[in-house]
Amino acid sequence: MLRDYQETVKTGVFARWDRGATNVIAVMPTGAGKTVTMTSVCQEVDDPSIAVAHRQELVAQISLAFAKAEVNHRIIAPVKMIRAVMAEHMVELGECYVRHNARVAVAGVDTLIRRPDDEFFQSVRLWQTDEAHHLLEANKWGQAVARFPRARGLGWTATPLRTDRKSLKRGSGGVFDDMVVGPSMRELIDRGYLAPYEIYGLPQAINTANVAVGGSGEFVQSELSQEAHASRITGDIVEHYLHLAAGKSGVTFAVDVALAEEHAAAFRDAGVSAAVIHAKTPMSQRIEIIRAFRNRELMQIVNVDVLGEGFDCPGIEVVSMARPTMSLGLFVQQFGRGLRIKEGKRCGLILDHVGNVVRHGPPDGPRNWTLEPRGRKNAEPQVKVAICGNPDCMRVYEGYEPACPYCGWEPVRSGSERQRPQAVDGDLTLYTPELLAQLRRDVNRVAGPVMAPRGMSEVARMALERRWENRQDAQTQLSHAIDHWAGHYVNGRGESIRAAHRRFFHTFGMDTLSALAQSGPEMVSMLDRVNGDRK
Is the pLDDT at 455 greater than 80? The verdict is no
pLDDT at 378: 43
* CA gap 225, 258 in Å, rounded: 9
Q: Going by C-beta distance under 8 Å and a sequence separation of 6 or more, which residues neighbour residue 162?
A: 133, 168, 217, 329
Q: In Å, what is the CA distance from 342 to each residue of 119, 190, 241, 300?
A: 44, 15, 20, 17
Helix (H) or strand (E) holding 445: helix 433-447
Is the pLDDT at 459 greater than 90? The verdict is no
Between 117 and 104, the more confident residue is 104
- 3-class SS letters over 139-178: CHHHHHHCCCCCCEEEEEECCCCCCCCCCCEECCCECECE
Question: In this structure, what DSSP letter does residue 416 have?
Answer: T
Residue-averaged pLDDT of the chain? 90
Asked whether 217 and 250 are in contact (CB, 8 A), the reply is no
Helix (H) or strand (E) holding 17: helix 4-18
Q: 24 has which bridge partners?
A: 154, 178
- What average pLDDT does range 210-222 have in this prediction? 90
Asked whether 29 and 156 are in contact (CB, 8 A), the reply is no
Is the pLDDT at 74 greater than 50? The verdict is yes
Q: Going by C-beta distance under 8 Å and a sequence separation of 6 or more, which residues neighbour residue 224?
A: 206, 208, 211, 255, 324
Q: Which of 413, 370, 407 is nearest to 391 (CA)?
A: 407
* CA gap 448, 467 in Å, rounded: 13
Q: How many residues does the chain have?
A: 535
* CA gap 388, 156 in Å, rounded: 36
* 370 phi and psi angles, rounded to 5 deg: -155, 155
Amino acid sitting at position 179? M
**Full set of structural domains in the chain with CATH:** 4-184 (3.40.50.300), 194-364 (3.40.50.300), 417-533 (no CATH)
- 283-294 helix and 56-68 helix, angle to the nearest 10 degrees: 60
Asked whether 104 and 66 are in contact (CB, 8 A), the reply is yes
Pairing of strands 49-53, 126-129: parallel
- What average pLDDT does range 306-324 have in this prediction? 80
User: What is the CB neighbour count within 10 angstroms for residue 442?
Assistant: 14
Q: Going by C-beta distance under 8 Å and a sequence separation of 6 or more, which residues neighbour residue 116?
A: none
- What average pLDDT does range 336-346 have in this prediction? 88
Q: What band does 377 get if pLDDT is binned at 50, 70 and 90?
A: very low
With 0-12 / 13-18 / 19 or more C-beta atoms within 10 angstroms meaning exposed / middle / buried, residue 483 is exposed
- What average pLDDT does range 267-283 have in this prediction? 92
At 17-28, the pLDDT tens digits run 999 999 999 999
pLDDT at 203: 85
Amino acid sitting at position 75? I
At 151-203, the pLDDT tens digits run 999 999 988 988 888 899 999 999 999 999 999 999 999 999 999 999 999 98
Is the pLDDT at 330 greater than 80? The verdict is yes
Under DSSP, is residue 386 helix (H, G, I), strand (E, B) or coil?
A: strand
At 405-431, the pLDDT tens digits run 899 999 888 888 888 898 888 999 999
User: What is the CB neighbour count within 10 angstroms for residue 174?
Assistant: 25
pLDDT at 1: 84
Between 284 and 32, the more confident residue is 32
- What average pLDDT does range 70-99 have in this prediction? 93
Between 291 and 513, the more confident residue is 513
User: What is the CB neighbour count within 10 angstroms for residue 261?
Assistant: 16
* CA gap 307, 251 in Å, rounded: 8
* CA gap 176, 168 in Å, rounded: 6
pLDDT at 374: 61
Q: Going by C-beta distance under 8 Å and a sequence separation of 6 or more, which residues neighbour residue 285?
A: none
User: What is the CB neighbour count within 10 angstroms for residue 271?
Assistant: 9
> 133-137, 323-327, 379-383: lowest mean pLDDT where?
379-383
Q: What band does 347 get if pLDDT is binned at 50, 70 and 90?
A: very high
Q: What's the alpha-carbon Rg for the chain, to the nearest Å? A: 27
Is the pLDDT at 291 greater than 90? The verdict is no
Q: Which of 341, 41, 23, 19 is nearest to 191 (CA)?
A: 341
At 464-498, the pLDDT tens digits run 889 999 999 999 999 999 999 999 999 888 889 99
Q: In Å, what is the CA distance from 534 to each residue of 18, 344, 474, 490?
A: 33, 38, 18, 13
* CA gap 235, 249 in Å, rounded: 18
Amino acid sitting at position 138? A
> 40-49, 120-129, 395-404: lowest mean pLDDT where?
395-404
* CA gap 465, 67 in Å, rounded: 77
pLDDT at 365: 73
Q: Which of 509, 55, 22 is nearest to 277 (CA)?
A: 55
Q: Which of 346, 334, 279, 294 is nearest to 310 (CA)?
A: 334
Q: What band does 383 get if pLDDT is binned at 50, 70 and 90?
A: low
- What average pLDDT does range 86-91 have in this prediction? 93
Is the pLDDT at 221 greater than 80? The verdict is yes
